[in-house]
C-alpha cells in the first residue's frame, strides 16, 4: 500500500536583477505528499507545513538551458532520482 507519493515539480519564476546578471528563472523541487493531502499548486513552505507535505529543493537553472550537463538538467535528474527512490520505497521495491 502506498502511504505517500513523491512528485517532481519544475516551476518558473521572474528572473531578478538586470541583464546580464539575472538570476536563474526555473527551480526544481520534489513534493512528498501524504495520503489524503492535495498536492500544492504553489510551492509555499507555510502551505506545505499545514498540509503535512515535505518539499525537497533540488536546484535551479535557466529555462532555455535544460541539457543534461546544465544546472537545470542536473537538478531534474537529482529530483527524479529522489522521487523514484521514495516511490519505490513506498511500493516495497528495492532501490538501485
Which pLDDT score is estimated for 29?
93
Which pLDDT score is estimated for 10?
87
Q: Is residue 14 part of a domain?
A: yes
Q: Is residue 22 part of a domain?
A: yes
Residue 72 cell numbers, joined:
537545470
Which strands sit side by side in the sheet containing 54-61, from one edge to the other? Answer: 5-12, 26-33, 54-61
Round to whole Å and give the CA distance between 72 and 46.
Answer: 25
Round to whole Å and give the CA distance between 57 and 91.
Answer: 23
Q: Is residue 44 part of a domain?
A: yes
DSSP SS3 for 41: coil
User: pLDDT class for 1, splitting at 50, 70, 90?
Assistant: very low
Q: Is residue 37 part of a domain?
A: yes
Domain count along the chain: 1
Round to whole Å and give the CA distance between 22 and 35.
Answer: 39
Q: Is residue 85 part of a domain?
A: yes
**What is the domain range of residue 81?**
5-90
Q: What is the pLDDT of the chain when averaged over all its residues?
A: 85
Q: Is residue 96 part of a domain?
A: no
Amino acid at each position: 500500500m502506498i502511504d505517500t507519493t513523491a512528485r517532481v515539480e519544475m516551476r518558473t519564476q521572474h528572473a531578478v536583477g538586470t541583464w546580464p546578471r539575472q538570476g536563474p528563472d526555473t527551480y526544481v523541487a520534489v513534493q512528498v505528499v501524504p495520503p489524503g493531502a492535495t498536492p500544492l499548486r504553489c510551492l509555499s513552505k507555510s502551505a506545505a507545513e499545514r498540509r503535512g507535505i515535505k518539499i525537497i529543493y533540488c536546484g535551479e537553472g535557466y529555462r532555455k538551458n535544460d541539457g543534461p550537463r546544465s544546472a537545470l538538467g542536473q537538478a531534474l535528474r537529482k529530483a527524479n532520482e529522489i522521487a523514484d527512490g521514495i516511490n519505490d520505497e513506498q511500493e516495497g521495491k528495492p532501490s538501485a
